[in-house]
Amino acid sequence: MAKIKDLQTGVEQEFELAGGKPLSIGRKRDCDLVFPPICPEDQSLANQFLRETGASSISRKHGVISQENGDTQFVNAGSLGTFYKGRKEDVIKLNDGDIFTLGPDGYEVQYID
């Protein structure tokens, strides 16, 4: 079982890639992994939280985590991009401890295998 850790809140979300089905990541509540994982219900507080954490640059459906030839990868689907080691990337091969950024505002998450 692997995890994605939200480095802004410290919340870890466990997941398992089973049967080749990719897992969606994004702000929309119907994603498999929702970021940010903690957001106030009150809309004005939620908007402030999104701005302060950089989460406003996370797309509703930002990307997917999948397996390809035994490797775990993140595939960007968001319009604002995903960044790895300072570069905008469409596909990131994930290794234990890798940190990548959802959107240009610095919302960092870490892959833990």
Q: Give 57's DSSP letter.
A: G
pLDDT at residue number 6: 87
17 to 28, 39, 74, 78: CA distances (angstroms): 20, 26, 12, 21
Q: What percent of the chain has pLDDT over 90?
A: 41
pTM attached to this predicted model? 0.84
Tell me the pLDDT tens digit for each residue of 49-90.
777 777 778 888 999 999 888 899 999 997 789 999 999 999
Cα dihedral angle (17, 90, 93, 61), rounded to 10 degrees?
A: -30
The predicted model gives 13-35 an average pLDDT of 87
The predicted model gives 9-37 an average pLDDT of 86
pLDDT at residue number 27: 86
- All domains in the chain, ordered by first residue: 2-112 (2.60.200.20)
pLDDT at residue number 38: 67
Contact (CB, 8 A) for 68 and 20: no
